[in-house]
Amino acid sequence: MASEYMPEGYILDTAENIEHTRTLAGLEYAMNCGLILEGRACLCDSAHNLIVELGKYRGIIPREEAAFSTDGEPVKDIAVITRVGKAVCFKVTGIEKDGKDVRILLSRRLAQRECCNYYISHLRPGDIVDAKITHMEPFGAFCDIGCGIVSLLSVDCISVSRISHPKERFHLGQYIRCAIRQNDLETGRITLTHKELLGTWEQNASRFSAGDTAAGIIRSIEPYGIFVELSPNLAGLAEWCDDVSVGQSAAVFIKSINPEKMKIKLVIVDSSGQCAFPKPPEYFITDEHIGKWVYSPEESEKYISTDFDA
């Protein structure tokens, strides 16, 4: 879903943001027009106020203005401290001059509240949004979907091919596209999904043919075979072999492709012994909303889908 409220850091180095944050005239204009700007937080003082670099000036985001709580809970100190060294969005709320001394007051809370009121609150399941990876845990990736407002992309929603940790797909600071899975306006909790944008089984399988030798990543080793990922939404089962480990890159021979059973039989012909680095995701959906996604081919015995409009 196209938006002017982008993840923090997106407008930091734009010409317009630089123009408004490097001079007092620019900051005054932004204050009078209610513009949302960005700067880099360089310090969090002992009172947990954030200090932001603004060219030759410094602005201050008071502790109580450091974040807008969507669930009504008090903002935790750690949420303020961890902004140091990173881009933060803000609105200019005051410019106090005393001779040569200038005190520039900023509010991140007001910028986030506006983002919530005019953007986040209007998001519905299936809306596709820009997101930025801010933190990763084994259970999922936390994503900034606008002005530092964070939502969760659980690990099982990242791709059809299973992974054990989001770092197998993403890196910190990476911009991705996601679909809204749930937006609970009462609690302020938003969850995301990513796999629906990575193509159906048929779209991914059409890139391969029986007899091809393709590059893959070993994702799981079982007594009955080895699951090798050919793309984030497509994996095949290889015959069991020795001297391989999860995460390795591998070259696999494709024995057969069966759309009815959604199965691809493989033979591992070589494994590099090196772990594969995550590649940027390729998206098959470029619309701003997806109503229903059907992963399975028509002739498949299994039916796997996501109905956002249900």
More confident residue, 85 or 188: 85
Per-domain residue ranges of the chain: 15-117, 123-198, 201-275
| Residue range 257-270, pLDDT digits in tens | 999 999 999 999 99
> In this predicted structure, what is the pLDDT of residue 72?
65
If phi over 0 gives left and psi between -120 and 50 gives alpha, with beta otherwise, what is residue 65?
alpha
From residue 125, give the alpha-carbon distance in Å to each of 139, 178, 180, 288: 21, 11, 5, 11
| Residue range 59-113, pLDDT digits in tens | 999 999 999 876 667 778 888 999 999 999 999 999 998 888 899 999 999 999 9
Whether the pLDDT of residue 1 is over 60: the answer is: no
Q: In the chain, where do the E strands start and end?
A: 37-44, 50-54, 57-61, 87-98, 101-107, 128-137, 140-144, 150-154, 175-184, 189-193, 213-222, 225-231, 234-238, 248-258, 263-275, 292-294, 305-307
| Residue range 106-143, pLDDT digits in tens | 999 999 999 999 999 999 999 999 999 999 999 999 99
Q: CATH topology of 123-198 equal to that of 201-275?
A: yes
Which of 118, 148, 109, 120 has its CA nearest to residue 132? 148
> In this predicted structure, what is the pLDDT of residue 91?
98
Label residues 158-169 b or e (16+ Cβ within 10 Å = b).
bbbbebeebebb
What is this structure's pTM? 0.92
- Name the CATH code of domain 201-275 (choices 3.90.550.10, 3.30.420.10, 1.10.760.10, 2.40.50.140): 2.40.50.140
Overall average pLDDT of the 267-279 stretch: 81
* Third-level CATH fold of 123-198: OB fold (Dihydrolipoamide Acetyltransferase, E2P) (2.40.50)
Share the mean pLDDT of the chain: 94
Percent of the chain with pLDDT over 90: 85
Q: Which CATH architecture has domain 15-117?
A: Beta Barrel (2.40)
